[in-house]
Amino acid sequence: MKWITAWRRRPWAGYAVVLAALAIIGVAYAGVSPRTDQAQASDAAASQQDVAKGKALFNQACSSCHGANAEGTKNAPSLLGVGAASVDFQVSTGRMPAMNLGAQVPRKKPIFNEEQTRQLAAYIASLGGGPGVPSKDQVNPDTGDAAMGGKLFRANCAQCHNFAGSGGALTGGKYAPPLDKATPRQIYEAMITGPQAMPVFNDTTVTPEQKRAIIAYVTQTRAEPNPGGSGLGRVGPVAEGLVGWLVGIGLMVVAAVWLTAKKPKKKQQND
Amino acid sequence: MTDNNENSDVTPEEEGRVPKRVIGTPPSVGTQELLPREEPGEGGSGYVLDEKKARSAERVAAFFFTLTFLASIAFIFFYAVWPGHVGNIQRATRSNYTLGIALTLIFLGLAVGMTIWVRHLVTTKEIVQERHAISSTAEDREAFNEFFQKGAQESGLIQRKLLRRTLLLASAPLGLLPLVLLRDLGPLPEKKLRHTKWKSGTRLVVDGTGQPLKATDFNSPGGIITVVPEGAENNLDEIATSAVLLLNLPVDQLKIKKGRENWNVGGIVAYSKICTHVGCPAALYEQTTHHILCPCHQSTFDALDSAKVIFGPAARPLPQLPIGVDSEGYLIATSDFKEPVGPSFWERGRPKA
Amino acid sequence: MSTTTPPKAIDGAIGYADERFAIAGFLRAKSKKVFGDHWSFMLGEIALYSFVILLLSGVFLTLWFKPSMSEVVYHGSYTKLNGVSVSEAYDSTLRISFDVRGGLLMRQIHHWAAVLFLASTMVHLLRIFFTGAYRKPREINWLIGIVMFTIAILEGLFGYSLPDDLLSGTGLRITQGVLQSIPLVGTYLFYFAFGDAFPGHDFIPRLYTIHVLLIPGLLLALVVAHLMIMWFQSHTQFPGKGRSNNTVTGKAFFPVFLIKTNAFMLFTFAVIAGLATFAQINPIWLFGPYTPDSITAGSQPDFYMGFLEGALRIMPNWETNLWGHTVSWNVMIPALVPLGLIMTGAAVWPFIEQWATGDRKIHNFADRPRNAPFRTAVGMTTVAFYGLLWLAGGNDIIADKFHVSLYATTWFFRFTIVIGPVIAFFVTKRICLGLQGKDADVLHHGVESGKIMRLPNGEFIEVHEPASEEEAAVLQGKDLLPAPELEEAEDENGVPAPSARGPLGKVRKNLNRAFAPDEVSVDGHGEGHHETGPHDDEQLASDGVETGGGKAISRH
């Protein structure tokens, strides 16, 4: 262990430790950027049977908060008239049933499978009103005009979700979630139903065609490579500044220390 | 650090011209330079290298220089021969990596090679050099002062008052010329900051698509859309003042200010999207709290209560645009904004609204 | 390898040049100049070489960039923007990125070089400040540095504004809003700068001229002056064995420093090229073109503008309306006060220090920061002030990534911006004094050797060895600092001199006291002694360990 004591006493040892720590933090940070894309599609064919099964599921998993007849309680809003789209969004993103009621219900692994989700949606839709689950064609990103979608996204979505759909902060601990996991259908449903703090963009204000354009923009953007290297989380200049300081200045200081370091003693005695 | 005291064996011809190498207390006479660097091998003044180690260091340095050479070839090859650099984003990605890695290696190879060279193969020793005195000698200063005085006398500027004064007079306004010349940089503000493109009857059209909007179409509670005046969809200068945030608010919760009773259409309310702080679009709307937030500096406005400020650096509410419905059911403005939109300015001249 | 006659080619070239420019004599004198070796002396070189890259890559970019705000419809390689109407500036920047070979790489190199330029300028300035290297005779070079830093911030702002993308356009919008809110002349300045309404068509071409001609020219001139003055005055050096205020210890410019600085230049190039390869910067195709009614979450400027952004964010919403005139304190204070405090403060600091201490001597030694506690504490206060504003500029990212309330972050920074710097001051001062105490301790009792000894009574102790000559020389470097003294502050009867009377005189006296060295002594038996009591000495003696000139033992 003598060498380590000796090493520790070198003047640059402190800097080396700090740099190493920073490097570890940087690597750990860079490791956190998962990306999955699950395509799912289903037809909202609501049969009487679905409604019955949906009601059973509802009673079992939802009624404690939303009331026996979905009329709402002081813990949770009424679901009368919210429509199938809203149920499909909340359940398929795993937000409902909610585990605990914080500032915002987070996305998680869905509890119900696709069929059960459809049944729940059918039940709530049968209670009346509200937008339905969009068709496969309505959310097909391949037929959307991504350029138009980009314009609409910047005018209506980027203020919360950020220019590349990386998410952003709202007030009171709430946040606009990143759009990296949202399926085309969920994006459509979110726009049309306005889940949680999100406002509503109904079909007469932003037409289905324009919604498809937005979906095309979002899905293409997240699938697109970062031509300039790592995207640094696509959050803009804050990450760039951090990298500039930690990596840029960090490496330059290492180079400066190497260039100016005194050679070990024994070599100097060669003269 | 090595002690160089013993090494001050200066050749006779250099002696006299060059002060001695100094350690510790330097001689009092300070001049520009000190000892010349002695050539390695002469009297053992430079470091003597361990030839075995030196040769391996040389090989390492040579490896890195070769790396640079190869990377340069690779760079030129990638650039000139490989076709897929431009045309789409995948190609741009590949191009950036290939050219970038090659370029990085070019510089890195040279840098590392040179570092190894200077650390292991250069035999120059550390020396102590005297700093030269920074100021001139007293004689120099004295002589210059005299010379300057004499010159000033000879120029006549000191005795000839008229000459001196008119010269000063002549040069005084010269500094103003560049400022005067800048006048045509832009027009005067006049009343332009007080008006926008909105006037009575202007239809609200959706930003980005240009379609007019019917009140009955904008019917979802919690709805929001950005609108601009019809005819200004593509005029950035107009949009910069006239952009409006259209909200569908619960009419029973609206706290309508006196005199603004006719400014909304069944809970549809229009606020200027230009933040009253420094002009960013105050565009972030939470339908649960009915707060409008500006993402730049987080000024927060209460949409239910005439967009009054509830948090952040903005001092004034977002101006509200009076809106109505035309004969075909489309949403229209019923007048311009009643106050200037956007950031404050000196002449704004209205007490807090 | 050792030749006494240079190769013919070199000899010939030198001969040719010498017969025309007398170059041999000049080079003979210059190439012998000694440069000190310390890593922190190279920080300014990062800035210098980043600047070189900025000039080179900038010229490359000008070959394709069109500084025009005219609307065109984009049709290019980035299909997701096809058919969108954008400005020519944005269009041409996209073309550089996707249709010019190596264009994206050069754009990223240019931007990363700018980030590194500003970042290294900052660390370089901090190094100079904390080591007192701005003192006589180097005050003018310090001032040049401050001026370069200030205009480099502007240069950066103007540069990243040129592509006319959503993020930079938002920055310009804020610039315009700040301009407009200036009392009395604000609206005039706004219309003069923008040539008409915002965004208009004039601003980017004007910025372009300033960005590629005016400021780089100014910077280049100042860089040259900075380097010439540096060469003439030589670097400072840290205290060490065999070093004095009148000498420089190091190696000759030729060949050692020349190779080193070139190697370092290439490291700078390599790091910037590496960043440009592996880390995407300013992806304007993702931001989209600027329209005044669009905005993105996380609208931030580049890092060097971050402290102004932070100040704007945490400022309370003060505004006064008097006699029909509006003064926006909520904009004026954050826009002017932090920048003014830091830049003006830095500029006048050397002169304040001179005035307060009455110290007019030439200083060629760099202080170790601990040996000037007041200065170091003031420096850390500034760092804390700047750093907190900087963090506040990213409060939305902090709130989002760490899931805290947005307003809570604002309130946190509103408080800490006041108390944080104060805490930094006192903590730094304590740390400095503590480190001085430790230095004194090392001088008196030696350093921990890592050898563990067992005493007869069973206690384990670590053998302390006296500090090596080199180490001791560094520690005693403090001795070389002049004790600040106010001449004629009082006469022999205790009557304050005229200069010490009055409010200004009192300020000076207090400052003088603040700068005064503390009681930790490195030569006598000062504070450093308190850690070992008589008991220890007794024990040492009884253990037969030599305490005089050789080894000393103290409790670990």
Which CATH number goes with the domain that contains C306? 1.20.810.10
Residues of chain C above pLDDT 90, percent? 56
Mean pLDDT of C4-8: 73
Q: Indicate if A143 and A206 belong to the same structural domain.
A: yes
Q: Which helix (H) or strand (E) holds C464?
A: strand C460-465
Give B224-287 as a DSSP string: EEEEEETT-TT-HHHHHHH-EEEEE--TTT--PPTT-TTSSBTTEEEEESB-TTT--B--EEET
DSSP annotation of C188 reads H
Q: Which helix (H) or strand (E) holds B77?
A: helix B51-80
B24, pLDDT greater than 70: no
Cβ–Cβ gap C260/A260 under 8 Å: yes
Q: Please give the Cα distance from C246 to C260 (Å, whole number).
A: 24
| Chain C nearest CA to A230, separation (Å) | 5
Weakest mean pLDDT among A41-45, C63-67, C460-464:
A41-45
- Kindly state whether C400 is in contact with chain B, defined as any CB-CB distance less than 8 angstroms: no
Q: Indicate if A185 and A118 belong to the same structural domain.
A: no
Cβ–Cβ gap A235/C298 under 8 Å: yes
B162 confidence band (pLDDT: 50, 70, 90): very high
Of A107, A131, A155, the residue that ends a domain is A131
Query: Does residue A168 form part of some domain?
Result: yes
Residues facing B245 on adjacent strands: B226, B271
Q: Please give the Cα distance from C294 to A25 (Å, whole number).
A: 34
Give me the domain span that covers residue C244: 31-343
Predicted local confidence at residue C496, as pLDDT: 60
Q: Long-range contact list for B303-310, CB < 8 A, 24+ apart? A: B303/B247, B303/B249, B303/B269, B303/B271, B304/B249, B304/B253, B304/B254, B304/B255, B305/B255, B306/B255, B306/B256, B306/B257, B306/B260, B307/B271, B309/B276, B309/C317
Nearest in space to B275 (alpha carbons), one of B333, B339, B343: B343
For B243, name the nearest residue in chain C, comparing CA atoms only: C293
Weakest mean pLDDT among C51-55, C134-138, C507-511:
C507-511
Q: Indicate if A151 and A121 belong to the same structural domain.
A: no
Nearest in space to A46 (alpha carbons), one of A77, A12, A88: A88
B33, pLDDT greater than 50: no
Query: Does residue A234 form part of some domain?
Result: no
pLDDT tens by residue, A102-127: 778 888 888 888 888 888 888 888 88
Nearest in space to A60 (alpha carbons), one of A135, A147, A123, A139: A123
**Residues 6+ positions from C381 with CB-CB distance below 8 Å:** C421, C422, C424, C425, C428
A192, pLDDT greater than 60: yes
Weakest mean pLDDT among C132-141, C196-205, C523-532:
C523-532
B3, pLDDT greater than 50: no
C555 confidence band (pLDDT: 50, 70, 90): very low
Q: Which of A82, A200, A209 should we substitute to test contact with B (largest number of B Cβ atoms within 10 Å)?
A: A200
Predicted local confidence at residue A244, as pLDDT: 96
C541, pLDDT greater than 80: no
Query: Does residue C80 form part of some domain?
Result: yes
Q: Please give the Cα distance from B107 to B101 (Å, whole number).
A: 10
| Chain A nearest CA to B10, separation (Å) | 18
Judging contacts by C-beta atoms under 8 Å, the chain C residues touching residue A256 are 39-40, 42-43, 46, 264
What's the angle, vertex CA C310, arms to CA C308 and CA C314, rounded to 5? 120
pTM for this structure? 0.86
Predicted local confidence at residue B84, as pLDDT: 77
Query: Does residue A91 form part of some domain?
Result: yes
A17, pLDDT greater than 80: no
Q: Which of A175, A205, A209, A270 should we substitute to test contact with B (largest number of B Cβ atoms within 10 Å)?
A: A205
- Kindly state whether C394 is in contact with chain B, defined as any CB-CB distance less than 8 angstroms: no
Weakest mean pLDDT among B39-53, B98-112, C375-389:
B39-53
DSSP annotation of C171 reads H
Question: Does ipTM come in above 0.90?
Answer: no
Retrieve residue C512's tokens: 């003088």
Give me the domain span that covers residue A76: 45-131
Predicted local confidence at residue C554, as pLDDT: 40
C326, pLDDT greater than 50: yes
Q: Which helix (H) or strand (E) holds A221?
A: helix A208-223
| Chain B nearest CA to C143, separation (Å) | 19
C542, pLDDT greater than 70: no
Mean pLDDT of C328-349: 93
Mean pLDDT of C517-529: 50
Q: Which chains touch B (3 or more CB pairs under 8 A)?
A: A, C
- Kindly state whether A250 is in contact with chain C, defined as any CB-CB distance less than 8 angstroms: no
CATH number, residue A83: 1.10.760.10
Q: Which of C45, C70, C328 should we substitute to test contact with B (largest number of B Cβ atoms within 10 Å)?
A: C328
A246, pLDDT greater than 80: yes
Query: Does residue C172 form part of some domain?
Result: yes
What's the angle, vertex CA B67, arms to CA B66 and CA B70, rounded to 5? 85
**Residues 6+ positions from C299 with CB-CB distance below 8 Å:** A236, B280, B295, B296, C167, C170
- Name the residue ranges covered by the structural domains of chain B: 1-134, 138-184, 193-353
DSSP annotation of A228 reads T
A264, pLDDT greater than 50: yes
Amino acid letter, A171: T
DSSP annotation of C496 reads B
B65, pLDDT greater than 50: yes
| Chain B nearest CA to C183, separation (Å) | 5
Q: Which helix (H) or strand (E) holds C554?
A: strand C552-554
Query: Does residue C303 form part of some domain?
Result: yes
Q: Please give the Cα distance from C200 to C87 (Å, whole number).
A: 11
User: What are the DSSP E strand ranges found in C159-295?
Assistant: 247-252
Predicted local confidence at residue C154, as pLDDT: 95
Residues of chain B above pLDDT 90, percent? 60
Query: Does residue C129 form part of some domain?
Result: yes
Predicted local confidence at residue C536, as pLDDT: 42
For C393, name the nearest residue in chain A, comparing CA atoms only: A238
Nearest in space to B281 (alpha carbons), one of A159, C494, C507, A11: A159
Predicted local confidence at residue B8, as pLDDT: 39
Looking at the structure of chain A, the number of domains it has is 2
Q: Indicate if A71 and A116 belong to the same structural domain.
A: yes
Q: Please give the Cα distance from C314 to C413 (Å, whole number).
A: 7
pLDDT tens by residue, B193-230: 888 999 999 999 998 888 999 998 898 888 999 999 99
C494, pLDDT greater than 70: no
pLDDT tens by residue, A42-93: 434 447 888 888 888 998 888 888 888 888 888 888 888 888 898 899 999 9
pLDDT tens by residue, C252-299: 888 899 999 999 999 999 999 999 999 999 999 999 999 999 999 988
CA of B19: how far to CAs of A129, B132, C247, in Å? Answer: 100, 12, 13
Retrieve residue A3's tokens: 């060498």
Predicted local confidence at residue C424, as pLDDT: 96
- Kindly state whether C529 is in contact with chain B, defined as any CB-CB distance less than 8 angstroms: no
Predicted local confidence at residue B99, as pLDDT: 95
Weakest mean pLDDT among B3-17, B139-153, C430-444:
B3-17
**Residues 6+ positions from A91 with CB-CB distance below 8 Å:** A110, A111, A112, A116, A117, A120, A121
Query: Does residue A187 form part of some domain?
Result: yes
Cβ–Cβ gap C280/A227 under 8 Å: yes
Weakest mean pLDDT among B16-30, C110-124, C134-148, C323-337:
B16-30
Q: Indicate if A124 and A140 belong to the same structural domain.
A: no
Cβ–Cβ gap A205/B225 under 8 Å: yes
Q: Please give the Cα distance from C549 to C465 (Å, whole number).
A: 10
Retrieve residue A83's tokens: 């429509």
C108, pLDDT greater than 80: yes
Query: Between C499 and C308, where is the model more confident?
Result: C308
Predicted local confidence at residue A24, as pLDDT: 64
| Per-residue burial over B201-211, b = 16 or more CB atoms within 10 Å of its CB, e = otherwise | ebbbbbbbbeb
Superfamily of domain B193-353: Rieske [2Fe-2S] iron-sulphur domain (2.102.10.10)
Which residue is listed with tokens 């080199």? C470
pLDDT tens by residue, B106-149: 999 999 999 999 999 998 888 888 888 888 999 999 999 999 99
Q: Which chains touch A (3 or more CB pairs under 8 A)?
A: B, C
Query: Does residue C163 form part of some domain?
Result: yes
Query: Does residue A34 form part of some domain?
Result: no
Predicted local confidence at residue A3, as pLDDT: 59
Residues of chain C above pLDDT 70, percent? 88
C486, pLDDT greater than 80: no
Residues of chain A above pLDDT 70, percent? 80
Cβ–Cβ gap C105/B100 under 8 Å: yes
C420, pLDDT greater than 70: yes
Of A96, A112, A131, the residue that ends a domain is A131
Q: List the end-to-end C-alpha distance of chain C, in Å, as a whole number.
A: 53
What's the angle, vertex CA A180, arms to CA B300 and CA B220, rounded to 5? 50
Mean pLDDT of chain C: 86
User: What are the DSSP E strand ranges found in chain B?
Assistant: 127-130, 204-206, 224-229, 244-248, 268-272, 284-286, 291-293, 300-302, 308-311, 320-321, 323-325, 331-333
Which residue is listed with tokens 């264009």? C103
Q: Is A49 helix (H, G, I), strand (E, B) or coil?
A: helix
Q: Please give the Cα distance from C37 to C40 (Å, whole number).
A: 9
Phi/psi of residue C465, nearest 5 degrees: -110, 150
Q: Please give the Cα distance from C466 to C443 (Å, whole number).
A: 7
Contact present, B22 and B49 (Cβ < 8 Å): no
Mean pLDDT of chain B: 85
* Sign of the CA dihedral running C430, C431, C435, C438: positive
pLDDT tens by residue, C369-398: 988 899 999 999 999 999 999 999 999 988
Q: Which of C286, C287, C474 should we substitute to test contact with A (largest number of A Cβ atoms within 10 Å)?
A: C286
Query: Does residue A28 form part of some domain?
Result: no
Residues facing B320 on adjacent strands: B271
Predicted local confidence at residue B15, as pLDDT: 40
Predicted local confidence at residue C94, as pLDDT: 95
Cβ–Cβ gap A202/B220 under 8 Å: yes
Amino acid letter, B179: L
Predicted local confidence at residue A74, as pLDDT: 83
Q: In what order do the strands lie in the sheet with B308-311?
A: B284-286, B291-293, B300-302, B308-311
Query: Between C488 and C278, where is the model more confident?
Result: C278
Which residue is listed with tokens 């290298």? B49
Q: Indicate if A84 and A142 belong to the same structural domain.
A: no
Predicted local confidence at residue A29, as pLDDT: 53
Predicted local confidence at residue C485, as pLDDT: 57
Weakest mean pLDDT among C26-30, C52-56, C381-385:
C26-30
Predicted local confidence at residue C534, as pLDDT: 41
Retrieve residue A212's tokens: 């498809």
Q: Please give the Cα distance from C186 to C198 (Å, whole number).
A: 14
